[in-house]
Structure 1
Amino acid sequence: MGSVVSVNRDKLHQFSKASGRQITLVTGKGVLGDAHCGETVQHRSRVAKDPSQPNLRQVHLIHEELFAELREKGFAIAPGDLGENITTRNIDLLGLPRGTKLKIGADAIIEITGLRNPCLQLDRFSKGLMQAVLSRDENSQLIRKAGVMAIVERGGTISIGDQINLELPPAPRIALNVV
């Protein structure tokens, strides 16, 4: 069983998000008061391409274990620094299949839609960070470690310390791709 380590939001389109005690998820939109909240795409690069696309990136999650890995490589990283809304503990986010549902706290349910694609903003935050969140598996396949994206199926308030329960989708399960 996983848990919430940090909750973060920012009303502006900045790279990092401010940590708080709780956030509110809005069904079909995302994090209340966050720049990326909306039914259609809110990320500037995606809006420029097609503003009518559905927003599959309503909530960004990163596993706390990534921060420990990055600190070992010499990066000073804290929850919210990489723009995630929810920092988790004890969940292999990157290993979840598309469509996995996370029940967080008493009411909220989100559905994993895909991987966050690391971008050059990481290097603007800290030189070499983009390369640090990329690696290769034993088959030389690229591994993107910068977190996962989700949509809000059922809204609710999420607080630090809330438990996270997983519900895997029915088989056949589909591995995560970049959204």
Structure 2
Amino acid sequence: MAKVLAINISDKKGVIKTSIDEGVFVEDYGLKGDAHAGKWHRQVSLLAKESIDKMTAMGITGLVPGKFAENITTEGINLYKLPVGTRLKIGDTIQEVTQIGKECHKGCAIKQQVGKCIMPTEGIFTRVLKGGVIKPDDSIEIIK
């Protein structure tokens, strides 16, 4: 079963995010209080624990949810294989996949601290179609 492991937030772009108990996701905006939220196509970022585990297997230590600046850390779903346009029910929200991966910007704190970033190949971005609350352990369903 696909589920949410963590909700992560930061007030600046390009930095590691801190895990919170629950996130309020606003329609056509993103995670309330997060630096990446706004009226654009990359409102929410998601990264799978399975992707983070690949980095751990390469010998990188200290990786925890939010370390790659993802808003939602997931488990049990192969995010980067979802086609753009896929709709997901996550907690109370409905989100649409808008982009797979992105290049790290110059001076990215994650790349500097971790040495390599997995977001460019395995992170995904969504737009919030229906707002609501998301908490750890909430299920993630692909809407057919």
**TM-score in terms of structure 1 length:** 0.73
Shift of 1:144: 1.3
Query: 2:121 is aligned with what amino acid?
Result: R
In the alignment, what sits opposite 1:114?
A: 99
Distance 2:49 2:15 in 1: 18
1:138-153 equivalence runs, <5 A? 144-145=121-122, 147-153=123-129
Question: Are 2:70 and 1:84 equivalent residues in the alignment?
Answer: yes
Letter of the 1:6 counterpart = A
Equivalent-residue separation in structure 1 for 2:26 and 2:33 (angstroms)? 10
Q: Which ranges of structure 1 fall in alignment gaps of 5 or more residues?
A: 40-54, 135-142, 169-179
> Deviation at 1:12?
2.3
What's the CA shift for 1:36? 1.3
Instruction: Give 1:161 shift.
Output: 0.3
The corresponding residue for 1:13 is 13
The CA RMSD over aligned residues, in Å, is 1.7
Aligned to 2:112: 124
Give the Cα separation in 1 of the matches to 2:30 and 2:138.
18
The one-letter code sitting in structure 2 at the alignment partner of 1:164 is I
Q: Secondary structure at the match of 1:99?
A: coil
Query: Gapped runs of 5+ residues in structure 2?
Result: none
Letter of the structure 2 residue corresponding to residue 165 of structure 1: E
Q: Indicate which of 132, 157, 168 corresponds to 2:133.
A: 157
Match of 1:50 in 2: none
Deviation at 1:14, TM superposition (A): 4.2
Larger C-alpha radius of gyration, 1 or 2? 1
Give the secondary-structure state (helix, strand or coil) at the position aligned to 2:111. helix
Deviations 1:55-84 (A, max 9, x none): 110000000101111111011211100000
User: 1: distance between equivalents of 2:86 and 2:2?
Assistant: 14
- Report the alpha carbon displacement of residue 123 of structure 1 after superposing the two structures with TM: 2.6
The Cα shift of 1:91 comes to: 0.5
Amino acid at match of 1:144: T
The size of the alignment, in residue pairs, is 140
Letter of the 2:134 partner, please give it. Answer: I
- TM-score normalised by L of structure 2: 0.90
Q: What does residue 31 of structure 2 align with?
A: 31
Q: Deviations over 1:94-151 (max 9, x none)?
A: 110111111012x211100011213252431222x14xx39xxxxxxxx812x00000
Shift of 1:93: 0.4
